[in-house]
Amino acid sequence: MPTNDFIPSKNHEFNDFQNTFVNFVNLNIASWDLTDTAIAEWALLTNMPGQKKMRWDDAWQIISTGNFKRSQNVELKGARKAYESGNKTNPEDTSIRLFINRYLRNNIKVSVKQKAEMGLTIPDELKVKASEIISSRVMVGSVTVARHLVHRSTIYVPGRKSRAKSPGIESLVVFIAFTDAQTHVEPEITKFSFDGTVKGGLYKREFDPSQEGLRAWYFVRALKKGRVQKYEPPSKMWSAVIM
């Protein structure tokens, strides 16, 4: 698995990355002047039963429960390799990396901002410009450690190695809301309240025993520096049950 590039190595982070990437491309692909061949390849990559993304989704749905067989874990590894990397010696094959290299990385129709929002690596000469546009809108959060009455969340920008705040950002502020454990619909934003700030890309939350069994929902907002401090729009929400 890759360990030092724009695609996260851990499976749960990879799952967040690929969902963000696919959703973003689906929303913007019509404006990038891609060929019919590229559009057909995108359909194969993301919307073909038993292939690439859909194969990964099926395998991850099982593995993410924590209750799986060895053969199912072997299938996950094979599904990820096929979806993430593919066979670069086969012009008929595709993958996330192959599609990016063929149609997005050097496509002048795909802006630097769009590349940053997808989590792609930005060329050195454009890093300063990219850092200026990174905000809570492109941040991803997930509960990476859940133990009795404690959640530890990792908050990061896909494609960035550093978890430091971007220039012009005063702090990253976490908001929280609670629902019953069976609720999987994101609460209205008015239900959230201030909860704390992110340190080094990590956020620890301890709960009261009375909150055990509830689902905690989170999102993060970047607070800009300046005489009049303003919040960036909220990140995508994430959640986990309090054990």
Domain edges within the chain: 11-133, 136-241
Tell me yes or no: is domain 136-241 CATH 2.60.40.10. yes
Give pLDDT, residue 151.
97
Give pLDDT, residue 1.
35
| Poorest-pLDDT segment among 37-41, 70-74, 125-129, 143-147 | 125-129
How far is residue 24's CA from residue 218's CA, in Å, rounded to a whole number? Answer: 21
Average confidence score pLDDT of the chain: 86
Residue 5 pLDDT exceeds 90: no
Cβ atoms 114, 138 nearer than 8 A:
no
Residue 197 pLDDT exceeds 60: yes
The predicted-structure confidence for 57-109, as pLDDT tens digits, reads as follows: 999 999 999 999 999 999 999 999 999 999 989 999 999 999 999 999 888 88
Alpha carbon 167 to chain centroid, angstroms: 21
- Distance (Å) of CA 31 to CA 14, 77, 110, 121, 211: 26, 34, 9, 21, 46
Give pLDDT, residue 131.
43
How far is residue 119's CA from residue 111's CA, in Å, rounded to a whole number? Answer: 12
- Complete DSSP assignment for 102-137: IIITT-TTS-HHHHHHHTPPPPGGGHHHHHHH--GG
Q: Which residues pair with 222 in a beta bridge?
A: 172
With residues binned 3-state (H G I as helix, E B as strand, rest as coil), the percentages for the chain, rounded to 5, are 40, 20, 40
Instruction: Look up residue 167 and give its two tokens.
Output: 């220039």
- Distance (Å) of CA 214 to CA 62, 152, 154, 161: 23, 16, 20, 33
Residue 166 pLDDT exceeds 90: no
Percent of the chain with pLDDT over 90: 62
Cβ atoms 86, 94 nearer than 8 A:
yes
Look at residues 50, 60, 158 and name the one whose alpha carbon lies nearest to residue 100: 158
- Complete DSSP assignment for 151-181: EEEEEE-TT-S--SPPTTEEEEEEEEEEEET
Residue 44 pLDDT exceeds 70: yes
